Amino acid sequence: MNNFELYNPTNYIFGKGQMEKLGNLIPKNAKILLAYGGGSIFKNGIYESVMQNLKGFDVTEFGGIEPNPHFETLEKAIAIVKEKKIDFLLAVGGGSVIDGVKFISGATNYKGNPLEILQKRLLIKENAVPFGTVLTLPATGSEMNSGAVVTIAATQEKLSFGGSALFPQFSICDPTVIESLPKRQIQNGIVDAFTHVMEQYLTYPHDAYLQDRIAEGILTTLIEIGPKVVEHPTDYALASNYMWCCTMALNGLLNKGVPTDWATHMIGHELTALYGIDHARTLAIIGPHLYTVLFETKKEKLTQYGKRIFHLSGSDDEIAKEAINKTVEFFHLMGIDTKLSQYTDDYAKAATFIAARFKERGWNALGERQNLTVEKVKHIVEMSY
């Protein structure tokens, strides 16, 4: 097992009726920026509940944070935070809103050009504005980690950043919020969490046995509950397991002591930036093709995955190949298309464009073995057509 450090200071507050604790979690006399997305919180009662529990606080609202939050939008929020001397941020939303607030948190007191945080993937370790979250859409795990992704609309780039100062101080996670979500968002959340686990699991054999079993437990649970929770979002047992799986998939626990990949995400981000495709759906488009192109170096773990998750039998090659097929079948069962051509007619330029962009950034060796070249990236995207 590799050496590791485990640090996660987020106070994770889970279950029904936890919103009533909100006012006690924020420092008294704090000046708050309340950030949210497109306004769904006004329709499902969450906004009213939040404001009821923020009585007595000085609250400034900032709405309109996009799915895949735009740097250009977040710049406006940063200006408000500085102008009004706001000292606490509250994200009410899903991963995009939380990621946007992480950027606001880290960029407000940054001395240079905030774009550098994204372009140079800087680590924010100090001087961040403290923030908390009220989770409304389980998917990304951003409610209990210190990473985030922001889109630069001007250049069509979707870039990640993070740092130890960007953990939420608290996250209120009530599974009943999914009752009002569209099916598409729940489908996305399941596949997003599933692929988060795969990026930390589907690498090569190692001796961190417990990490594998935890990962397999999450994958098995997502396969079991995924189709059911889409159809029955009011079932609390399904909803609570769904939310907890999404958090556990990317709260930092699974990657401790093990090799990780993340190339599927890096390629998928480009598809979102280019075409506006939902994040989870880009992962479903890219993941299976990446496993195929890197088959020989992922075969041992694919075989383990096939045996333990899908109970397959046969030769290692047969099991590994069928495991990829079973993964695609699960994505289809979740209502997720897995071909780029099913999302856009303008797909033919994608492979060349993404390969050129990776080359410009110096991303010439990706994946757990650093064997994913720009040429292989191009091939993976071409396979997705």
> Could you read off the pLDDT of 179-230 as tens digits, one per residue?
999 999 999 999 999 999 999 999 999 999 999 999 999 999 999 999 999 9
In CATH, what number is assigned to the domain containing residue 366? Answer: 1.20.1090.10
Q: How many CA atoms lie within 13 A of 127 on its CB side?
A: 7
Q: Which of 2, 9, 15 is nearest to 251 (CA)?
A: 9
Mean pLDDT of the chain: 97
In CATH, what number is assigned to the domain containing residue 157? Answer: 3.40.50.1970
Q: For residue range 90-106, what is the model confidence (pLDDT) as tens digits?
A: 999 999 999 999 999 99
* Sign of torsion over alpha carbons 286, 291, 294, 298: positive
pLDDT over 90 at 238, yes or no: yes
Q: Are residues 244 and 128 in the same domain?
A: no
What integer is the mean pLDDT of 37-47? 93
**What range does the domain containing 341 cover?**
183-383
In the structure, what pLDDT confidence band is assigned to residue 177 with cuts at 50, 70 and 90?
very high
Q: Are residues 149 and 251 in the same domain?
A: no
Q: How many CA atoms lie within 13 A of 287 on its CB side?
A: 35
Pair 128, 96: CB distance under 8 Å: no
Q: Is residue 101 part of a domain?
A: yes
Q: Is residue 360 part of a domain?
A: yes
Q: Which two tokens stand for residue 9?
A: 């200071």
Q: Are residues 208 and 60 in the same domain?
A: no
Q: Provide the pLDDT for residue 374.
A: 98
Q: Provide the pLDDT for residue 300.
A: 98
Q: Is residue 17 part of a domain?
A: yes
Q: Are residues 366 and 258 in the same domain?
A: yes
Q: Are residues 196 and 283 in the same domain?
A: yes
The helix or strand, by DSSP H or E, that contains position 272, with its residue range, turns out to be helix 263-275
Q: Are residues 116 and 258 in the same domain?
A: no
| Distance (Å) of CA 14 to CA 56, 170, 177, 247 | 25, 11, 12, 11
Q: Is residue 3 part of a domain?
A: no
Q: For residue range 150-166, what is the model confidence (pLDDT) as tens digits?
A: 999 999 999 999 999 99
Name the residue with tokens 């930390």.
200
Domain boundary among 161, 176, 191: 176
Q: Provide the pLDDT for residue 226.
A: 98
Domain boundary among 125, 160, 176: 176
pLDDT over 90 at 39, yes or no: no
Q: Are residues 200 and 169 in the same domain?
A: no
Q: Are residues 25 and 151 in the same domain?
A: yes
Q: Which of 181, 277, 281 is nearest to 230 (CA)?
A: 181
Q: Is residue 67 part of a domain?
A: yes
Q: Are residues 271 and 355 in the same domain?
A: yes
Q: What is the DSSP string of 239-253?
A: HHHHHHHHHHHTSSS
| Paired strand residues for 70 | 151
| Domains identified in the chain, total number | 2
Domain boundary among 148, 176, 204: 176
Pair 355, 378: CB distance under 8 Å: yes
Q: For residue range 300-348, what is the model confidence (pLDDT) as tens digits?
A: 999 999 999 999 999 999 999 999 999 999 999 999 999 999 999 999 9
- Phi, psi at 314, each rounded to 5°: 130, -165
Q: Are residues 117 and 95 in the same domain?
A: yes
Quote the percentage of the chain above a pLDDT of 90: 99
Q: Are residues 70 and 195 in the same domain?
A: no
Phi-psi domain of 260 (left: phi exceeds 0; alpha: psi -120 through 50; beta: other): beta
Q: Are residues 229 and 353 in the same domain?
A: yes
Q: Is residue 5 part of a domain?
A: no
Q: Is residue 4 part of a domain?
A: no
How big is the chain by its Cα radius of gyration, in Å? 20
Q: Is residue 327 part of a domain?
A: yes
